[in-house]
Structure 1
Amino acid sequence: MKDHPIIVGLDIGTTKITTVIGEVAEGGSVDIIGEGSVLSEGMKRGSVVNLERATHAIRQSVQAAERVSGVKVERVFVSVAGNHAKAITSHGLAAIRRNQEINQPDVDRAIENARAVPLDPNLEIIHTLPQEYVVDGQEGIKSPVGMHGVRLEVDVHIVAGTAGPLLNLRRCVQEAGLQVDGFVLHALASGLATLEAVEQMQTVIVVDMGGGTTDVGVFKRGNLAHSACIPIGGEHVTADLAQILKIPLEEAENVKKRYGAALPELADQDLTLEITTASGSTHAISAFELSRIIKPRLAEIFSLIRDEIDHTLGPVELVAQGVVLTGGAAQLRGVAELARDRFRLPVRVGKPRGIGGLTDIVSGPGQAASVGLVLYGIGQDGKVPHSVFRHDPQAEKVPGLIEVTAPVVTAPPPSTPAPKAARADGEGLMDRVRNWFKDWM
């Protein structure tokens, strides 16, 4: 195991902290050999609010991954999310001497000139991500090294974070006995883990729906070209349910995951829940009514994303060819369908792909960012390693189809209180979903 490089991703979110240990094998393929997830503490909307509690949670997550892998973790790539991350696109120029080929120092000079933009002194640059190059007016060049020309231009996507939150995050990691190999924008990591081969040639919007925030990345031909953060996430849906149903947050989260849907028409029309409020009184609510509480908040998130892109890049339908949803909140039934209605684009739920090892543990949308941190660590250039697509069965899959997940209502574990469910027809909803999907196709 020591013969192969070990790369560790530490995804520090509002609701959970996940450590993923990856081993790079020969040929560049990646095997996940360790994973540890714990409930997040001391974090709010991507920022540290309690150093001691956040450090404790990080240490627990890392130790859990170490026990699975048998590897001692010393260095990690850390995700950065939240409103303190800012992004701009800057233009750089470098003159090339006549009759000389463009070399790597010329490329570096163009990128460095693009970085020379006035930034708030309170900002720390996290990423400098080159887009496509232009040589003597010729656009669409991926790598200009070896070409001839006298004028080299490049657009660079610069991501910077507020120094204070980054320092707090670094201190928590260091207090847990680790060194920070680098900070990685959350949306970038999610895109690296979920974008498929065909999508690498398109413009695709990646939406990572976390607990406290929703991170957005617009990828153009495999490059992160725009990023933003919406300060609303799955926790806000849970809070809405807790407030309206008058139940504790923990029970509201359980109700949301087990019986909720983003679209009322996809809720089980024959399912009724018996809710016990904090005061001890009980009342019944149908799954249809439950989904009517959930839908407005999710619709608000998608509307804010659309407004952000419309304002910055232009109408969504003209900018992008598709949308990829990922993150824990993307697992709620009907989210992809609601997003399709709001964006008027093909939508799918993205999951980590192109990896080996403990794929059953890190295969869900909620692990996309942590797996993406490992993939980023291979090249540290903000691009998906080519080795990821070599044996990826999804590489030939045509993107754009909505994934419709069959609803499953299971009994909660004995230790977890949950509302009672009564159903009249176990197959009714599945028949309606199948008919709806046939009509949509």
Structure 2
Amino acid sequence: MKDNTIIVGLDIGTTKITTVIGEVGPHGTVDIIGSGTVNSEGMKRGSVVNLERATQAIKQSVQSAERVSGVKVESVFVSVAGNHAKAITSHGLAAIRRNQEIGQSDVDRAIENARAVPLDPNLEIIHTLPQEYVVDGQEGIKSPVGMHGVRLEVDVHIVAGTAGPLLNLRRCVQEAGLHVDGFALHALASGLATLEAAEQGQTVIVVDMGGGTTDVAVFKRGNLVHSACIPIGGEHVTADLAQILKIPGEEAENVKRRYGAALPDLADKDLTLEITTSSGSTHALSAFELSRIIKPRMAEIFGLIRDEIDQSLGPVELVAQGVILTGGASMLRGTPELARDRFRLPVRVGRPRGIGGLTDIVAGPGDAASVGLVLYGIGEDGRVPAVVFTGADTAGGHRETRTDHRPDTRTDHRPAPDASVTAHTADAGAAHVPAPAPTAPTQPPAKPGVSFMDRVRNWFKDWM
């Protein structure tokens, strides 16, 4: 653990930048004492596209967290997302002298040998994460230190990022007056914050659905064994709505969050929207039809994730025992149900756990990565800190105990309706109640070769 009891996570995303300040107690308990979130500027799909604007947004986020905590931030752990991050698994070997115990230096030697793989000179290693060790053919060893043997082997998951984007990200943080303690893969951080104790013995897929990208991490017995990035996120759903409905992107985002659903069967069938386009014309659109525009893009994201895992690790149903959805885009109504249909696995929405302090401020799926960066900073070894589980029931702590797979609707995260969109229901005096989960099979994915926009045009020819 770091000597400094203050650890700060800086999650730099495409749509928002979040700073979370954590204080580590003497027994390893973690209290969140500050948080600041601002709209992201100068970022696109996990990479910096405008240094000045990104730097200014980082400053605003950090200053907001500092005002809440009363702590001056000097250094941060920074999230890395985007398809410039590459991952490989390498095998390392170390010989042990006969009749000697395996020491930490032997373990380090085996890991260093695993790192000695030819990489593109344009790549910078972010993580070297040991998987399980093998001693004289005995597999499944978590820590070989103190054991006897003559042959020590280890599989290491190596995550590297393209040097250019990492340098730009580091420069933005430094220009904001901060030191970079380290980088952490976005999906890894999300997994550290959301994995349950029972899932430490399973293989679980963590899907972090952001604005510009969807980051995927596969955890096997608490270790990151596979990671990938899908270059599609919630902003693409918004762009589809803006294109089809002919409304500005900001209004499309409001419509999506307030009235949309990833599954049309979960949309309010009695709700009709009056859409005013940029040209001034008005159209009536039901919430059901709105969700029919949303579903193909969300299904495409899950389909690409499934293809990635099927090709890399094998059939999803045989590889994993469950799926955890995090990130702001996962909060769209019906997303867990659609994911469950696509993966044919139990699905739940992951929220930060095992922390105390301002748990009401960092309680949503969109806060998982920033909280996970704080947890990563405790050990810097890419594993879930034990205190996240052993200290989860302490006073002031937050623990996720829900066993159902529906999104938590206790807090309304939806924005106020936009002036250009008017909603009409069959019973104007009745409160809106989400439709029950569908019992009929959902619509299968469209045949390959037909673009998304072509499918939408076929559905809404009278609109075009």
TM interval, shorter chain, is: over 0.9
Give 1:422's aligned residue: 424
Give 1:59's aligned residue: 59
Aligned partner of 1:402 among 401, 405, 416: 405
Give 1:94's aligned residue: 94
DSSP-derived class of the 2:436 partner: helix
Cα distance change, pair 398–332 in 1 and its aligned pair in 2 (3 A): closer
Instruction: Describe how 1:160-239 pairs up with structure 2 within 5 A.
Output: 160-239=160-239
Matched-pair contact (CA < 8 Å) for 1:269–1:288: yes
Cα offset for 1:418? 5.2
Give 1:306's aligned residue: 306
Give 2:344's aligned residue: 344
Give 1:333's aligned residue: 333
DSSP-derived class of the 1:274 partner: strand
Matched-pair contact (CA < 8 Å) for 2:132–2:155: yes
Given residue 194 of structure 2, which amino acid in structure 1 is its aligned partner? Answer: T
Cα offset for 1:403? 1.7
Q: Deviations over 1:394-414 (max 9, x none)?
A: 879586x41245599999659
Cα offset for 1:434? 6.8
Structure 2: unaligned runs, 5 residues or longer: 441-464
CA distance in 1, matches of 2:400, 2:162: 40
State TM-score, norm by structure 2: 0.90
Kindly, what percent of the aligned residue pairs are identical? Answer: 81
Give 1:142's aligned residue: 142
Give 2:449's aligned residue: none
Moved runs in structure 1, 4+ residues, more than 2 A?
A: 391-399, 404-414, 425-430, 434-437
- Determine if the alignment matches structure 1 residue 266 to structure 2 residue 269: no
Structure 1: unaligned runs, 5 residues or longer: none
CA distance in 2, matches of 1:224, 1:317: 18
CA distance in 2, matches of 1:383, 1:279: 53
Give 1:381's aligned residue: 381
Matched-pair contact (CA < 8 Å) for 1:197–1:395: no
Cα distance change, pair 364–245 in 1 and its aligned pair in 2 (3 A): same
Give 1:123's aligned residue: 123
CA distance in 1, matches of 2:176, 2:64: 13
Matched-pair contact (CA < 8 Å) for 1:77–1:184: yes
Instruction: Describe how 1:105-120 pairs up with structure 2 within 5 A.
Output: 105-120=105-120
CA distance in 1, matches of 2:271, 2:157: 48
CA distance in 2, matches of 1:344, 1:412: 32
Cα distance change, pair 169–4 in 1 and its aligned pair in 2 (3 A): closer
Cα distance change, pair 410–183 in 1 and its aligned pair in 2 (3 A): closer
DSSP-derived class of the 2:88 partner: strand
DSSP-derived class of the 2:306 partner: helix
State TM-score, norm by structure 1: 0.94
CA distance in 2, matches of 1:387, 1:412: 36
Q: Bigger shift: 382-391 or 224-233?
A: 382-391
Cα offset for 1:420? 1.3
Matched-pair contact (CA < 8 Å) for 1:130–1:157: yes
CA distance in 1, matches of 2:383, 2:134: 19
Cα offset for 1:423? 1.3
Cα distance change, pair 412–216 in 1 and its aligned pair in 2 (3 A): closer
Given residue 421 of structure 2, which amino acid in structure 1 is its aligned partner? Answer: P
Q: Bigger shift: 421-430 or 151-160?
A: 421-430
CA distance in 2, matches of 1:39, 1:395: 28
Cα offset for 1:392? 2.3
Q: Deviations over 1:406-437 (max 9, x none)?
A: 599999659x535111112446854x417859
Given residue 421 of structure 1, which amino acid in structure 2 is its aligned partner? Answer: A
DSSP-derived class of the 2:383 partner: coil
Matched-pair contact (CA < 8 Å) for 1:224–1:382: yes
Give 1:48's aligned residue: 48
Given residue 403 of structure 1, which amino acid in structure 2 is its aligned partner? Answer: R
Give the CA RMSD over aligned residues.
2.0
- Determine if the alignment matches structure 1 residue 11 to structure 2 residue 29: no
Cα distance change, pair 295–31 in 1 and its aligned pair in 2 (3 A): same
Matched-pair contact (CA < 8 Å) for 2:266–2:437: no
Aligned length: 432
Cα distance change, pair 31–406 in 1 and its aligned pair in 2 (3 A): closer
CA distance in 2, matches of 1:192, 1:410: 24
Matched-pair contact (CA < 8 Å) for 2:34–2:66: yes
